[in-house]
Amino acid sequence: MRRVAITGVGVVSPVGIGVPAFWDSLVSGVSGVGPITTFDVSQYPVRFAASVEDFDPTASLDTKEARRMSRFQQFAVVAADEAMADAGLGRMEGEEAERCGVIVGSGIGGLMLMEEQTRQLMERGPSRTSPMLVAGMIVDLAAGHISIRYNLRGINFAVVSACATGNHAIGEAFEVIKRGSADVIVAGGFDAGVTPLGLAGFCAARALSTRNDDPQGASRPFDAGRDGFVIGEGGGALVLEDWDHAVARGANIRAEVLGYGATADAYHMTAPAPDGNGARRAMKLALEQSGLPLSEIGYINAHGTSTELGDAAESGAIRAVFGDQAPPVSSTKSMTGHLLGGAAAIEAIACVRALETGTLPPTINYTDPDPACDLDYVPNVARQADPKTALSNSFGFGGHNATIIFGRADR
C-alpha cells in the first residue's frame, strides 16, 4: 500500500481566511463568534453565529464566475486555490490530469440560494427562477467547480455525512490514493448554513446555545455550563498526494495520513449513542490501520461541539480507547463554532499545523469542569508540545462517525 502525504492546505473560516490567519487566531484563542448582521434575527431565540466576515470571492474568482456559484461553492474554490498553490500545483495537463481528482463534500449545500430562489418563485413566478439554481444548490458541484478549474479528470464525487463530511472526504481520498487509483486528490468539506432557514431549523431542534448576551463565550466544549453548539460557516481543502509522487516533484510534505476509521451508531437521528460506541470503534479502526500504539498519539482534535450529550459521549469514548494514556484533547470549535460539513476539514488542517509547529490549540471558554468530561482539554491557552501524531474525530447527525490519524512529515 502506498503512503499518502498532505502537500497543500487552504481555509475559509470565521477566524480567518487563509491558513496563516486561521492558525494565528487558533493559537491566540480568538473567537469568531458574533451577532448575525446579514438578516433580521429579532424573532429568533438565537441571534449569533460564527460567520465568515469580509469574504470577497472576487479576490480569487472573476465576477462572472462568482455569480455562477453559491456561497459554499465559493468557499470551496477559494480554499482549493490556496491548497493547490500551497502544494505547488496548478492546472493539470495530459495523462497526469487523469490521475488527479476531487472528493469534496457539504452537509447542506446551497441552502442560501435555495431560500432566495424560493422567494423568487413565490413572489414572481417560475419564469423568474434562476437557471443556476440547481447547479448552485446541489452538493457535488463544489467538487465539479474545482475539477473544472484545475482540469482534474480522475475520480470526482461528493460526500454528504452531515458534520462528519470533511473527515469522510479526506478518508476516502486517502483510501483511493493508497490503493493506487489516483496520485493527487483535493479533499475537504464546506458549508454556508448561516441563513434564515438554517438558523430556524437548528433553533427548532434546540441544538444551539442561547447565550445571546455572551456570543463569544457560547461555544464551550466540555465545560459544565455548555448549552448547545454555535452554528458557523466555511470549510477547508487539503491536497492529498502519493508520497513518492510528492517526493519526485520536490513537494513540501506537510504531514502524512496514517489511518482512517468510519462507523455508524445505528442509534438515533440526532443524538449520539450515550456509550460512545460508534466513536470508540471509529478511533480503534483508525488506530489499527495506522499500526500505532496508543502511546504514540500526541494530540486529539475532538469533535467537541459544546452539547451536553455529545461532549460526554466523546470523552467517554476517548477514555474507553486510551484509558490512562489519553493524550491532550482540544476542541477548536470553541473558537470557530461548528461549520457543519466544513468542520472536519478545518480541524484536519489544525492537526497538520499542530504537528508542524509543536503547538496545541486550546479549548477556550473552559471555566467549570464537568465530572462527565475528565480529560486534559488544553484549557484556554495554547500549549507547546512535541506531538508526532494527531487524531481528529468528527461525528454527524444520522450516527456517522469518522476518525483520521495524521503523522508529522519527519516522524
- Contact present, 401 and 281 (Cβ < 8 Å): yes
Residue of 362, 383, 386 lying closest to 29 (CA atoms) = 362
CA distance 283 to 347: 16
Count of C-beta atoms within a 10 Å radius of residue 136: 24
Hey, which residues does 369 pair with through a beta bridge? 223
Quickly list DSSP for 149-181: HHT--S-EE---BTBTHHHHHHHHHHHHHHTTS
Secondary structure letter of residue 317 according to DSSP: H
What residues are annotated to the active site? 163, 303, 338
Q: Which amino acid would we find at residue 363?
A: T
b/e burial code for range 2-18 (CB count within 10 A of at least 16 → b)? ebbbbbbbbbbbbbbbb
Rg (CA), the chain: 20
Contacts of 403 (CB under 8 A, 6+ apart): 167, 259, 260, 261, 262, 279, 282, 283, 285, 286, 391, 392, 393, 394
Q: Which amino acid would we find at residue 301?
A: N
Hey, which residues does 299 pair with through a beta bridge? none
CA distance 112 to 123: 17
> How far, rounded to the nearest angstrom, does the alpha carbon of residue 387 sit from its chain's CA centroid?
21
Planar angle of CA 136, 138, 159, nearest 5 degrees: 135
Instruction: Report helix, strand or coil for 121.
Output: helix
- Contact present, 99 and 154 (Cβ < 8 Å): yes
